[in-house]
Structure formats: C-alpha cells, structure tokens
Structure 1
Amino acid sequence: MSVEHSNHHDAIEGHVDEHTAQQLHSDVTAYYRFNCEKMSELSSITVTVFALFPRIQQIRSMWMTDTQQGAVTLSDKNNMISLR
C-alpha cells in the first residue's frame, strides 16, 4: 500500500479571514489493493471513514475488478462503492 499526502496551500502571513480559511484544503492520495477469494459474491464496499473523520467532505474513488472498472465520488451521505 502506498499513501501520499500533499498539502496544497501556501504559508499565509498575517491575519486570515474566515472566507479565506474555508478555501484552504489538504489532499490525501491513497492506493489500496484488496484480494477477495469470492469476488463473484462481492457487490459493494461501504466506506466508513466519514464517521471517523467528519471534516472529510468527499473522496473520489476509482476501482477495478477482473471484469469491470468504475469511479464514484463518495460523501457522508453516499458512502458506498457499488461493484455491479
């Protein structure tokens, strides 16, 4: 597994108003590989990270199996990756 983190905002000197503070963000890139012995029985994956880290607003997920691939943007309201 490889995990990369990059913080995309520059150091800010002086006062930061509330509007500017809301525009600052951090991106995290992670790659996971799972092996499933019964892949034909797996239809979805539920991502529970939003409950653990409530400030995460969205996750852009790309997935692939032996026969399909797809992408979905996840949120606390839509936290399931459908593999079918």
Structure 2
Amino acid sequence: MPLKYNPYTQRYEYAEEDMEPTYNEYEGRYEYGKAEDLSYSPFTRGYSKKGNKLVDKFNPYTGRYEQVPEDWEIQQNPFTGKYEFAPKK
C-alpha cells in the first residue's frame, strides 16, 4: 500500500492502489477512499470512506483513536515525520 499525495489536504496518506481522493460529505473534507465504503467510529464520532472493514485503534503518539484496517501498525511517515498507522512492511 503506497503513500499517495492528496492534493486537497496537501499531505501524503497511505491508501490502497484503487483508492482516489473522495469527498466525505459527513466530515466536509477529501480523503483517499471509495465512495461506496463508509463506516462510523463511536470513538472519533466521525465517518470514514477508507474501507468497510475498519477497526478502531488507539494511536499513543496522537492520543486519539483512528479507524484503520485491522492489520495496520504504527510507523513513521517519512514525509511528515509523524507516527501514524500504515500497512505492515
């Protein structure tokens, strides 16, 4: 799963090959995802289009829960230097 540049947020994000920047009407922003995939997290009280098989995981570096695929783990993003969930290497 590569890092892709999101021109709407001007950030690099981990996304699957078939994901494109998609407008999330519930959050009022663009994110990589699929229009047909929508899930709600009670921890973030937000909606995500990153996939329909997401789990809530706690990121100790941000102090927040995030919706991510179950097999992702925390790694350092080489573009931002921040620790975030990403696919296993």
Structure label with greater radius of gyration = 1
Higher strand share: 2
Q: Identify the structure with bigger relative contact order (alpha carbons < 8 Å, sequence gap 6+).
A: 1
Smaller-chain TM-score bracket = under 0.3
Q: TM-score, normalised by structure 1?
A: 0.23
Higher helix share: 1
TM-score, normalised to structure 2, is 0.23
